[in-house]
């Protein structure tokens, strides 16, 4: 593994995001379960199950954090496939690597500290590139999408799982209450950290909605861009292909 292999230049936003994730790393998995009432596990399973990943594939999971997606992907690529788990944050990567090692999952995983905006890989390196709950934290999303496209092999797919715009009108007030009142309280109660969770709720609202992200992917060079809403658009899965 080349975990921690280089330092990345950081803008102010990246610094803030870095602090947020260093601060939540240890509680990250617990908080995901609490905040989403466990539903994030279903979204992640669906995200991986509907990908076109095959035995022997080489996959890059960007903003991979504590490794939920990487673990699910590894079961699909088998012993002959490999997963690179990339994240800008050393603390998140460390929690992820420890967790995998504790479960006896070592072979076929690499951990690389990297900024999604500038990937340390040659062109056409991967069959699939995924980013789950990561793109909204990236400062230059267009650059990240272009990089995802560059490192994909021709025929490869990019998949983005991200919070999106809630569609049913009646659900919006409930969702807002959960995000801005319940989340920071949960953050305070379980992680002694309301601010990080306030940041998360705000970052969700600022993230481009379904059609805008789809257009950004096309602009970055992807073909056949499409999306699918899950749970009324709380999250959406965007896909695009390199042709
Ligand atoms: N994919 C994991 C999951 O679904 O549980 C982790 C998602 S977590 C909400 C977001 C991750 O994005 C954090 O681990 C954070 O360090 C990482 N991140 C933020 N900005 C990044 C960037 N510019 N490049 C790579 N990773 C980044």
Give the distance (Å) from ligand 1 centre to CA of residue 201.
15
Q: What are phi and psi of 110, to 5 degrees?
A: -125, 145
> What does the angle CA 9 – CA 7 – CA 12 come to, to the nearest 5 degrees?
30
Task: Summarize pLDDT for 196-240 with one digit per residue, the tens.
Answer: 888 888 889 899 999 999 999 999 999 999 999 999 999 999 999
CA–CA dist 190, 210 (Å, integer): 32
82: Cβ below 6 Å to ligand 1? Answer: no
**Residue 184: CB within 6 Å of ligand 1?**
no
Q: Is the pLDDT of residue 9 over 60?
A: no
Contact 156, 126 (CB under 8 A): yes
Q: What stretches of 63-151 adopt beta strand conformation (E)?
A: 82-87, 109-113, 126-132
User: Does the domain spanning 37-166+208-241 belong to CATH 3.40.50.150?
Assistant: yes
Q: What is the pLDDT of residues 109-159, one digit of tens each?
A: 999 999 999 999 999 999 999 999 999 999 999 999 999 999 999 999 999
For a mutational test of ligand 1's pocket, the pick from 36, 41, 63, i.e. the residue with the most ligand atoms closer than 8 A to its C-beta, is 63
* pLDDT of 3 over the 60 cut: no
63 CA → ligand 1 middle, Å: 3
pLDDT of the residue at 46: 97
Residue 10: pLDDT band (50, 70, 90) is low
Q: Is the CB of 28 under 6 A from ligand 1?
A: no
In sign, the C-alpha dihedral spanning 227, 139, 39, 186 is: negative
Report CA(86)–ligand 1 centroid distance (Å). 9
Atom of ligand 1 nearest to the CA of 21: 16
- Binned at pLDDT 50, 70 and 90, residue 7 comes out as very low
Residue 130 in contact with ligand 1 by CB distance below 6 A:
no
- What is the Å distance from ligand 1's center to 61 Cα? 10
């Amino acid at each position: 593994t080349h975990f921690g292999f280089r330092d990345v230049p950081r803008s102010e936003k990246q610094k803030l995001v870095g602090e947020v994730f260093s601060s939540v790393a240890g509680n990250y998995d617990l908080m995901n379960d609490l905040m989403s009432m466990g539903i994030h596990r279903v979204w992640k399973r669906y995200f991986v199950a509907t990908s076109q990943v095959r035995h022997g594939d080489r996959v890059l999971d960007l903003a991979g954090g504590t490794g939920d997606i990487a673990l699910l992907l590894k079961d699909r690529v088998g012993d002959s496939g490999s997963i690179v788990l990339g994240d800008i944050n050393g603390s998140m990567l460390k929690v992820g690597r420890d967790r995998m090692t504790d479960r006896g999952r070592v072979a076929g995983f690499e951990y690389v500290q990297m900024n999604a905006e500038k990937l340390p890989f040659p062109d056409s390196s991967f069959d699939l590139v995924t980013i789950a709950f990561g793109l909204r934290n990236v400062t230059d999303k267009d650059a990240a999408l272009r990089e995802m496209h560059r490192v994909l092999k021709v025929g490869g797919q990019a998949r983005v799982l991200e919070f999106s715009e809630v569609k049913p009108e009646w659900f919006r007030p409930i969702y807002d209450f959960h995000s801005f009142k319940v989340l920071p309280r949960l953050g305070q109660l379980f992680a002694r950290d309301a601010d990080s969770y306030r940041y998360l709720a705000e970052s969700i609202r600022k993230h481009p909605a379904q059609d805008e992200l789809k257009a950004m992917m096309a602009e970055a060079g992807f073909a056949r861009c499409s999306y699918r809403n899950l749970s009324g658009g709380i999250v959406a899965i965007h896909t695009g292909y390199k042709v």
